[in-house]
Amino acid sequence: DAMVIQNPRYQVTQFGKPVTLSCSQTLNHNVMYWYQQKSSQAPKLLFHYYDKDFNNEADTPDNFQSRRPNTSFCFLDIRSPGLGDAAMYLCATSGRQGALNYGYTFGSGTRLTVV
């Protein structure tokens, strides 16, 4: 089945130690998104790629970076994780068909713990 896969499902990292979360998709969607969701809060968009074009949200901290080496993969790099970065990180895609009629397709998320 075509899907969005996030690895790992759970990630524990040390305070200040760089960490990378990965997302892959088999949908051939041209847009990929990274959302951060903290407990009982709304998912918050960090950035998205429209094909190779990177779009950063104005309030996304510089500590967060992203790479998209090809259509299928997108990475979220947290350069120096702080305790406040502990959250669920959701990757999503949307397709070239031009409509949001069916919304985004989300991965299962990576829960990041910072110790």
Residue in 11, 22, 56, 105 binding another protein, rule: CB under 8 A: 105
Helix (H, G, I), strand (E, B) or coil at 66: strand
DSSP classification of residue 84: G
Sole binder of another protein in the list 41, 54, 73, 84 (CB under 8 A):
41
Residues 70, 84, 108, 114: which binds another protein (CB under 8 A)? Answer: 108
Which of 24, 36, 43, 114 touches another protein by CB under 8 A?
A: 43
The single-letter DSSP state of residue 91 is E
Interface with another protein (CB under 8 A), residue from 58, 69, 70, 102? 102
Q: Please tell me whether residue 42 binds another protein under the rule CB under 8 A.
A: yes
Task: Work out whether 69 is an interface residue with another protein (CB under 8 A).
Answer: no
- Whether residue 8 has a cis bond before it, omega within 30° of 0: yes
Phi/psi of residue 105, nearest 5 degrees: -105, 125
Angle at the Cα of 97 from the Cα atoms of 29 and 103, rounded to 5 degrees: 70
Q: By C-beta, is 75 or 106 nearer to another protein?
A: 106
Label the pairing between strands 19-25 and 73-78: antiparallel
| Contacts with another protein, residue ranges (CB under 8 A) | 4, 6, 9, 29-31, 33, 35, 40-45, 48, 50, 90, 92, 94-109
